[in-house]
A and B are shown apart, each in its own frame.
Chain A
Amino acid sequence: MAVGAEAIFGNSVITTKLDSAISWARESSMWPYVFGTACCAIEFMSVASSQYDISRFGAEVVRFSPRQADLMIVAGTISYKQAPVLKRIYDQMTEPKWVISAGACACSGGFYDNYTTVQGIDSIIPVDVYIAGCPPRPEAFLDALIKIQELQAKKESIIKDRVVKNFKGKLDDSKKL
């Protein structure tokens, strides 16, 4: 017996825009790459485990290969030593791609205002959604994921290129790399 959409619609035909159909597919199956470095990554473990259960939002297929992922979640402090690694992994992800900056350290350096911590990862890579908190509660991670899904459903289109062409991070100077 058919279940889900087949059970409801049977053999009938649905007309829709290609744009909405693809966006619907995208938002329902985000594949996150968790760039977990510190405390926030432990909270992400909670997000993935049964109590908060990220699979309710279709994003439980956590991939540790950037080439298979379309959502980067930067969870934790990024030091200057780590920055080239972050940049390289971001570049390895195929487009379209989205970035969540989770927690105070990733967003702004947090209370690590010192010689070793990057003061916000948006000086290295472009960010779509920021989450506050040190570390953020699991609900906040889910909220950020929903915000990305809303972005996909309402604001974005497959015809438009998603990559910010004029973004220039501190490590984007090609001579240095």
Chain B
Amino acid sequence: MTVKNFKTLFENRYFIEDSGAFIVEKSNILDALHVIKNRDNYTLLLDMTAVDYLKKDSSKARFAVIYILRHSDFSQILMLKVYLDATLTLPSVTSLFKSANWAEREIWDQYGIQFQNHPNLKRILNHKEFIGHPLCKDYPITQGQLCTKTDDLMDEMTPLLKSKGYENFEDLMFLNLGPAHPASHGTIRNFVALEGETIVSTVSEIGYLHRGFEKSCENHTYNQIIPYTDRLNYCSAILNNIAFAHTVEGMLGVEIPQRAQYIRVIIGELSRAIDHLVCLAAMLVDMGALTNYWYLYNPRESVYTLLSKLTGARLTNSYMRIGGVSRDFYEGFEEDLRYSLKDIQKGVGDTLKLIAHNRIFHDRTQNVGIIKKDEALNRGITGPNLRACGIAYDLRVAKPYYGYDTFDFNIPIGSTGDVYDRMMVRFEEIEQSIYIIKQAMKRIPKGDIMLNNHSIALPSKQSVYTSIEGVMNQFKLIYEGVKVPSKEYYDAIEGANGELGFFIVSDGSGTPYKVKVRPPCFYAMSALPSMIEGGMIADAVLSLGSLNIIAGELDR
């Protein structure tokens, strides 16, 4: 790892843990992050999370906070870790990274760790009447708490308006966009103050679809978690499956068979394409261009048919297993795939014919909802939304996995980072995904689709029904789960919305000690207020749509 400056400047004031994380003292964390960001060029704060060691090994401290950063060359990551003392406080790093703002709020909400000098430390996922911190190991998983009233958000709105020079609010109109609003694409709430039709200031409230993904993971075996991952970004369920399985396989130190890797590439790219389809279709509806919805949504139906033949489900596929994929391609798959790809290309082509040179479309999307490069990086935005700003960061190229370096494809990038660029990047990515699928289908080797390792892969049904070893093997794997050595590990793949990573803490058993997903939407969403303030309401709707916020992934 190239953290020269940090090592020289912090000589004797840090040490490296087995996990590879750099441990620093609480008093040094701000300086350390400053050096790592500005001198060692780790400019992207990917994610922040905490671990409660109560039931593992709390000899050092009960809680630790972990910072995961990515280098500006986008290939290396660095983990920084701070053990907390009994006061459970830590200085906030929002002055260095804007992405830390919501991340720190989430840690406060879930673990009860306070961040000093945070601009607005309040709950983010749970409702405001919630008592306690659910991800603490001593909080019972099923203890729900009734919420009787929604937050009016004026505690955030008032100082925001005062800072903009508004003393009394008589001339302003307050409006809730969401949580039950057709253009909120799920359940996101944006509370706006309007002057005429112009948005003066915005407060976003999320958490309406918080479903306790992380707590549920701590109570299920690794393979049982795969259905939960389906429901994170449900528009591209398979990519979530892949990201999770890929991370656990990395912890086990195994590489899946070649054929399984190719299947993951093919089905993963297909998922990426249909994820973009639904985003673009919904956006065009928001713009009033309903015809395009049919053009873009119908190919998705044809992919559903293919996926339900292959995996047994249309939307939530649970196709991956730790160590490979659950089924091989069926007979006639290639023909179905060809047919589906043609459908997608036709839908995209028809839509582009209607909008590519359409004055109304251009006027509605160009120079609307702009995010600048530096702002995007500082907020931790990745994926198509970052590429639309002109930064060619794609994990498939920056840190290739599953042989992506052997495929020929381009990374489309935008120039201004407006709604138009974000849409066009997605249109082009669909083309590139199809191109990758076609190359992969030509080269896909024959062979196993699961690892040949009895401590990871389930035995064949034939051997379960006919031999005692097979029965025992099946029983142990189902009841106890795949045993993953004790580790703290982060890995990521390029999801449809950006870097989709999992940070997993294992304790050697078949159930993870902690799972934290790094949801690309969460960081994109925090940028929304800065994009829509000063614009019109109608533009705010488009800006939200163009970020492709999926509530399941946003709120987990």
Name A's B-contacting residues (CB within 8 A).
35-39, 41-43, 45-46, 49-51, 64, 76-77, 79-85, 89, 105, 111-119, 134-135, 137, 170-171, 176-177
Contacts and interface: CB of A to CB of B under 8 A. Distances in A.
A79 to B, nearest CB: 6
27 contacts: A37-B186, A37-B208, A37-B209, A38-B234, A39-B315, A39-B316, A42-B315, A45-B278, A49-B293, A50-B298, A79-B207, A79-B209, A80-B145, A81-B210, A83-B146, A84-B147, A84-B148, A85-B179, A113-B141, A113-B142, A115-B140, A115-B143, A116-B125, A116-B210, A116-B212, A134-B316, A135-B315
Nearest to A134: B316
Nearest to A88: B150
Nearest to B231: A39
A29 B84 CA distance: 61
A77 B209 contact: yes
B182 A177 contact: no
A38 B551 contact: yes
Interface string B307-336: 000000011100000000000000000000
Chain B interface, DSSP helix/strand/loop, else mixed: loop
Contact of A43 (B126, B182, B209, B315): B315
Contacts of A116: 125-126, 134, 144, 210-212
A42 B234 contact: yes
Interface in B348-381: none
Given A37-B209, A38-B209, A50-B298, A82 B179 contact: yes
Contacts of B126: 81, 116
A71 B298 CA distance: 26
A39 B294 CA distance: 19
Interface in B205-233: 207-212, 215-216, 227-228, 231
Contacts of B524: none
Contact of B314 (A114, A115, A137, A177): A137
Contacts of A118: 144
Nearest to A170: B146
Contact of A85 (B146, B150, B227, B315): B150
A111 B315 contact: no
B298 A49 contact: yes
A137 B315 CA distance: 9
Contacts of A112: 211-212, 216
Contact of B297 (A39, A49, A81, A119): A49
Contacts of A119: 144
B147 A117 contact: no
A39 to B, nearest CB: 4
Interface residues of B, number: 48
Nearest to A171: B148
B180 interface: yes
A89 B180 contact: yes
A115 B142 contact: yes
Contact of B212 (A42, A83, A114): A114
B301 to A, nearest CB: 5
B127 interface: yes
Contact of A114 (B147, B148, B149, B216): B216
Given A134-B316, A176-B148, A82 B208 contact: yes
Nearest to B219: A114
A45 B281 CA distance: 11
A46 B304 CA distance: 10
B212 A81 contact: no
B531 to A, nearest CB: 23
B297 A45 contact: yes
B15 interface: no
B187 interface: yes
Contacts of B278: 42, 45
B181 interface: yes
Interface string B487-513: 000000000000000000000000000
Given A77-B211, A80-B127, A46 B301 contact: yes
Nearest to A82: B208
A51 B297 CA distance: 10
B552 interface: yes
B139 interface: yes
Interface in B506-556: 551-552
Contacts of B35: none
B273 interface: no
A118 B126 CA distance: 13
A38 B186 contact: yes
B482 to A, nearest CB: 20
Contacts of A42: 234-235, 278, 315
Interface in B86-143: 125-127, 134, 139-143
